[in-house]
Amino acid sequence: MTATVTTKGQVTIPKPVRDMLGITAGSKVDFRRAADGSVILIRVDGKPPASRFERLRGHSGKGLGTDAIMALTRGET
């Protein structure tokens, strides 16, 4: 992934990287230099990013209740 540095020295972190690290608006990050000279981006809060399943939790939306689903399965209308 490639990003362009603006005249102000700003870079947009690519969405796949933000998603992987769990970085959202207001998140604090740190840049560290590794022994091999590469730069590592780290979330400052140290929290592990939510798993893909945790991010989906509670997002089924409004829908049919259990009774309505059971009625549909039984062929009751």
- CA torsion through residues 29, 20, 47, 23, sign: positive
**Residue range 63-75: mean pLDDT, rounded:** 85
pLDDT at 74 over 80: yes
Tell which wins on pLDDT, 1 or 57.
1
pLDDT, tens digit (0-9, with 9 covering 90-100), for 9-65: 999 999 988 888 888 888 899 999 999 999 999 888 867 666 777 766 765 567 778
User: If we measure between CA atoms, which residue out of 73, 16, 13 comes closest to residue 49?
Assistant: 16
Q: What pLDDT shows up at residue 6?
A: 96
* Model pTM score: 0.55
